[in-house]
Amino acid sequence: MPKLKRFHQHLKKNLLWYSLIAIALGLSVGHQCGEFIISNQKLLANLIMIVVFMLIYPMMVNLRLEFLVKAFKNVKALLLTLFYNFLWAPLVGYALAKLFLAECPEVGLGFFLVMAVPCSSMSIGYTGLAGGNLELAIATVALSFVLTIFALPLWLELLGGSFHIPIPINILFMSILEVLIAPMICGYLTRMILIRVLGEEKFRKINIIFPILTMLSLFLIIFLIFFMKAKILLEKWDTMLWLIVPNLVFMAATLGLITWLDRISGINYRDHMGLVFASTGKNNGTAIAIATTAFSPLVAVPAATLPIFQIIFLILYLKMENTIRKYFGSERMKR
């Protein structure tokens, strides 16, 4: 399927631009369709639920749960991952939300929420491009998906209330069930059925379809979020600008900390690259899904805009591959 592979590479390469186009279209169309949005809230909510499922489910088809077992063999890397994803990121995200986004509690809560949802699935792709430990990256993503089910409600229960927005824990658990657990089960079953029917080799040939579906669904959900909240976002455009600052601070500080701490902890270059992208990149798709089902589209705005900053920083870090190799004392592999 060379055409699908080229299309997938095209989407990955231009993810930033397509995200910006989805935001611009959502704002411009939503601004003109205020009455339609008000009178069709239920229809739009149902549409979001369908798109949310199509966003998460394809990721889960390619998620190999058996890699969770292998994660426990690298204890040091595992502990560092848990620290970065479930302590550092939520606490720093909370502090930045309080510092820069206090005037808009819903956006502040959304920023805190996205910082508490670790591991962009695209981190595996970045790891491969950097010559990192793919097995460790896959294990980290898989483990983080599972732990998020328990960690996210805990963090929102502990700190979410300070944003003075009711945290519907029951609805939150149902949202996690709908957007994480149900797609995970369906995705795993789909994988098993396809492998049994087609065989491993044929499945590998067609599984490029699933990340394409995820990215197309991501663009659609970004459009819907900005479409539904165009009026309030255009009225509060200054809040959108304020999102730039905490995002830049978080990405720069996190990349710097992980690079330094991994090196002094004795992590080698390959394992570092297996950790850094999975620990810095946030799963904005999952955060959008939870925000739109448990809260409101406005809470999902930080997650919808995150790709703009995340992609820029992670690609810049990827382009520093040779410098980072030298920092970790690793020579560039011959290709």
Q: Is the pTM of this model over 0.75?
A: no
CA-angle at 219, arms to 221 and 101, nearest 5°: 65
Can you tell me the distance from the alpha carbon of 197 to that of 174, in angstroms, rounded to the nearest whole number? 32
Q: Say if CB 235 and CB 30 are below 8 A apart.
A: no
Residue 318, both tokens:
């990827």
Which band of pLDDT confidence, cut at 50, 70 and 90, is reported for residue 275? very high
SS (H, E, C) 236-303: CHHHHHHCHHHHHHHHHHHHHHHHHHHHHCCCCHHHHHHHHHHHHCECHHHHHHHHHHHCCHHHHHHH
Could you tell me which residues come within 8 angstroms of residue 300 by beta carbon, excluding any fewer than 6 positions away? 110, 225, 287, 288, 291, 292
Judge contact between 306 and 284, C-beta under 8 A.
yes
In this predicted model, what pLDDT tens digit does every residue of 111-128 receive, in sequence order?
999 998 887 656 776 787
Answer whether 126's CB lies under 8 Å from 277's CB: yes
| CA-derived radius of gyration, the chain | 19
If you classify domain 2-8+15-327 with CATH, what class do you get?
Answer: mainly alpha
Residue 147 has which token pair? 């732990």
Distances in Å between the Cα of 132 and the Cα atoms of 148, 221, 271 are 24, 31, 6
**Model confidence pLDDT, tens digit, residues 206-237:** 888 988 888 898 889 888 888 887 887 787 67
Contacts of 235 (CB under 8 A, 6+ apart): none
Furthest C-alpha separation in the chain: 61
Closest CA to 304 of 209, 211, 208, 229: 229
**Chain segment 45-102, per-residue pLDDT in tens:** 788 888 878 877 887 787 776 665 666 778 899 899 999 999 999 999 999 999 998 8
Per-residue pLDDT of 155-194, as tens digits, reads 988 888 787 766 666 766 776 677 667 888 898 899 999 9
pLDDT at 207: 86
Q: Give dist(CA 242, CA 123) in Å, integer.
A: 26
User: Does the pLDDT of residue 332 top 60, yes or no?
Assistant: no
Complete DSSP assignment for 177-230: IIIIIHHHHHHHHHHHHHHHHH-HHHHHHHTTHHHHHHHHHHHHHHHHHHHHTH
The string of DSSP letters for 134-171 reads: HHHHHHHHHHHHHHHHHHHHHHHHHHGGGGSS---HHH
What is the phi-psi region of residue 283: left when phi exceeds 0, alpha when psi lies from -120 to 50, beta otherwise? beta
**Amino acid (one-letter) located at 114:** V
Q: Give the model confidence (pLDDT) of 122-146 as tens digits.
A: 677 678 767 788 778 878 877 887 7
